[in-house]
Amino acid sequence: MRVVCCSNSSLAVTATLPSFPCLGPRFLPRIAIPISIPSSAIRFLPLRSTASPRQITTMASKNAQDQQDSRLESISSAIRVIPDFPKPGIMFQDITTLLLDTKAFKDTIDLFVERYRDKNISVVAGIEARGFIFGPPIALAIGAKFVPMRKPNKLPGEVISEEYSLEYGTDKMEMHVGAVQPGDRALIIDDLIATGGTLGAAIKLLERVGVHVVECACVIELPELKVQP
């Protein structure tokens, strides 16, 4: 069984993001879930399966002892892996099954809120569309505003745009002019980080208007994917 391990080292973490002129260190909390692929044929997990081939190898830790938070195991096992979606070879990490588990969903939000509540975060930016599911509950709990980062032509009124690379071609992300102010302290939320292209675009958008991006937070990381240059 191949298990993808995440390192707890913050040095390794900063290396996974594209480098931008930044105002401070940025690192990804590894709150969950490496992927493990069984040696036999890849199975499609039924929606409510609690039997997961996944192993948790690490977690985000806020204390020196690096104790594994017991909530992480149920969060991890609630996420469903769907092979060959949206195309062959991709193991899609489906968080919708997590959302069906009321305790695990609440624990997911709580883990983020515990980490960020005393960090003076004024903005939670959520990336369309699954970032809209995790971002607002966090924003509400920590008293921050929520700013949606959207695909082109969805936001009405004046926007700023940032183009970013895809495997083939480019895409664009937009944010409302005036949603954030210079000096705002921001958290960026998405369900998953793969190559980091989308998160990189979100960071750029916020920094272009003078916001300090404190951290990016995702439920899932695919650490084996290389970052876009």
Partner 1 sequence: MSAYKDQDPRLHGIKTKIRVVPDFPKSGIMFQDITTLLLDPKAFKDTIDLFVERYKGKNISVVAGIEARGFIFGPPIALAIGAKFVPLRKPKKLPGKVISQEYILEYGRDCLEMHVGAVEPGERALVVDDLIATGGTLCAAMDLLERVGAEVVECACVIELPELKGRERLNGKPLYVLVEYIEI
Chain residues in the site for partner 1 (CB under 8 A): 44, 46-48, 80, 82, 85-86, 92, 94, 96, 99-102, 105-106, 109, 128-130, 132-134, 136-137, 139-140, 143-148, 150, 153-157, 176, 179
Shortest distance, position 142 Cβ to partner 1, whole Å: 9
Specify the pairing of strand 212-221 against strand 185-193: parallel
Smallest separation (angstroms) from partner 1 to the CB of 50: 14
Q: Which is nearer to partner 1, 16 or 76 (CB)?
A: 76
- 223 in Cβ contact with 194 (< 8 Å): no
Three-point CA angle 59, 18, 193, nearest 5°: 40
Token reading at 139: 């924003």
Would you say 21 or 156 has its CB closer to partner 1?
156
What DSSP string runs through 129-177?
TTHHHHHHHHHHHHT-EEEEEB-TT-S-S-EEEEEEE-SSSEEEEEEET
Q: Taking the complex as a whole, how short is the minimal distance between the CB of residue 47 and partner 1, in angstroms?
A: 4
Please give the DSSP secondary-structure letter assigned to residue 78.
H
Is 163 considered catalytic here? no
Q: In the complex with partner 1, which residue's Cβ is closer, 105 or 116?
A: 105
The yes-or-no answer on residue 26 being catalytic is: no
Closest distance of CB 156 from partner 1, Å: 4
- Catalytic hit among 30, 54, 80, 130: 130
Q: How many CA atoms lie within 13 A of 110 on its CB side?
A: 11
**Residue with Cβ nearer partner 1 (191 or 221):** 191
Distances in Å between the alpha carbon of 158 and those of 94, 125, 175, 207? 33, 17, 9, 18
Q: Catalytic amino acids?
A: 130, 167
